[in-house]
Amino acid sequence: MKPPAPIQLSPDEVAFIRSRVIYEDAVLLAFDKPSGLSSQGGRIQAHTLDDLLWAFAKPGHARPRLIHRLDRDTSGVILTAKTKPAAAFLGKALAARRFRKTYLALVTPGAPQPKGGAIDTPLRRDSIGREVTMQPCAPDHPDAETALTRYRTLAAGEGAALVEANPETGRMHQIRTHLASIGRPIAGDAKYGGALMLAGAPVPRLMLHARSLKFPHPDGGERRVEAPQPEDFQAALDRAGLRLPEPQG
């Protein structure tokens, strides 16, 4: 397969993507992806994160490779590899479920019941035209894909709650679909029934943030990369009267 041709980026685009780097070493690059930026293959006529990675390509070499993806409207940690061996190593580790992904989700109308546990509900793809959603289904459905999400409530108020989610499988829209399936859709998620108003103000976007990623490093050991809550996410928490608990230890 012919390698993709380099994409010419503007100086502003180069500066922007370099400003989003939160971890870098000889073989890896991790970014704090903002909401609204497609990871790859977006429908809108704008450069994706995959395109912007050309800012890090050395002359005559390929750009870094995406190891996983985030939904366009999800913010937070996303990992890339600078070398082909590192990409192969991380791809195998991801398939073997050796990545620990931690997300923050602002849900309504309050804390899930129970406040913590596991959602072990298979999912299936459902397509209407170009719109693709994931739907809960029975385990024996011919299109069923196993899906497991562990969650716990970090803070709760009368009309909203802050939930930490750890997906152990990597299905499309998994956290969004699983939380909606227990009656706690993510705020701003119109596709899965999320509230579009919160504490008297519009919800600016899907309130889902990839907070941290722990993974085995190609050179040995483990790394943990964390992205702080974006301003719009923190502002929504403040309006709902919710606070992220201080880390222990």
Closest by Cα among 70, 73, 109 to 204: 73
Closest by Cα among 221, 210, 242 to 72: 210
Residue 5 forms part of a structural domain: no
Q: How far is 235 from 244, CA to CA, in rounded Å?
A: 12
Read off the pLDDT band of 53 (50, 70, 90): very high
For the stretch 155-167, pLDDT in tens is: 999 899 999 999 9
Note the pLDDT of residue 43: 63
User: Catalytic residue among 32, 71, 73, 189, which?
Assistant: 71
Statement: residue 139 has pLDDT above 60: yes
Task: Kindly report the CATH number assigned to the domain that includes residue 213.
Answer: 3.30.2350.10
Note the pLDDT of residue 100: 98
Q: How far is 111 from 105, CA to CA, in rounded Å?
A: 11
Statement: residue 42 has pLDDT above 70: no
Statement: residue 44 has pLDDT above 90: no
- Report the chain's mean pLDDT, rounded to a whole number: 94
Residue 55 forms part of a structural domain: yes
**Number of Cβ within a 10 Å radius of residue 4:** 11
Residue 159 forms part of a structural domain: yes
Cβ proximity of 160 and 243 under 8 Å: no
Note the pLDDT of residue 3: 64
CB proximity list for 23: less than 8 A, separation 6 or greater: 29, 30, 223, 225
Residue 3 forms part of a structural domain: no
Cβ proximity of 67 and 87 under 8 Å: yes
Note the pLDDT of residue 245: 86
Q: How far is 39 from 172, CA to CA, in rounded Å?
A: 13
Q: How far is 107 from 208, CA to CA, in rounded Å?
A: 9
The number of folded domains in the chain is 1
Note the pLDDT of residue 60: 79
Read off the pLDDT band of 249 (50, 70, 90): low
Read off the pLDDT band of 6 (50, 70, 90): confident
Q: How far is 24 from 216, CA to CA, in rounded Å?
A: 15
- Strand, coil or helix: what is 8? coil
Statement: residue 186 has pLDDT above 70: yes
Note the pLDDT of residue 188: 98
pLDDT > 70 in the chain, percent: 96
Respond yes or no on whether the N-terminal peptide bond of residue 114 is cis (omega within 30° of 0): yes
pLDDT > 90 in the chain, percent: 87
Is 71 known to be catalytic? yes
Residue 220 forms part of a structural domain: yes
For the stretch 90-138, pLDDT in tens is: 999 999 999 999 999 999 999 999 999 999 999 999 988 888 999 999 9
Residue 145 forms part of a structural domain: yes
Residue 248 forms part of a structural domain: no
> By residue range, what is the domain housing residue 219?
11-240
Residue 127 forms part of a structural domain: yes
Closest by Cα among 215, 175, 208 to 30: 215
Alpha helices, DSSP H, located in the chain: 11-19, 49-52, 84-95, 174-181, 231-240
Q: How far is 161 from 111, CA to CA, in rounded Å?
A: 5
- The arithmetic mean of pLDDT across residues 67-84, rounded, is 97
Read off the pLDDT band of 248 (50, 70, 90): low
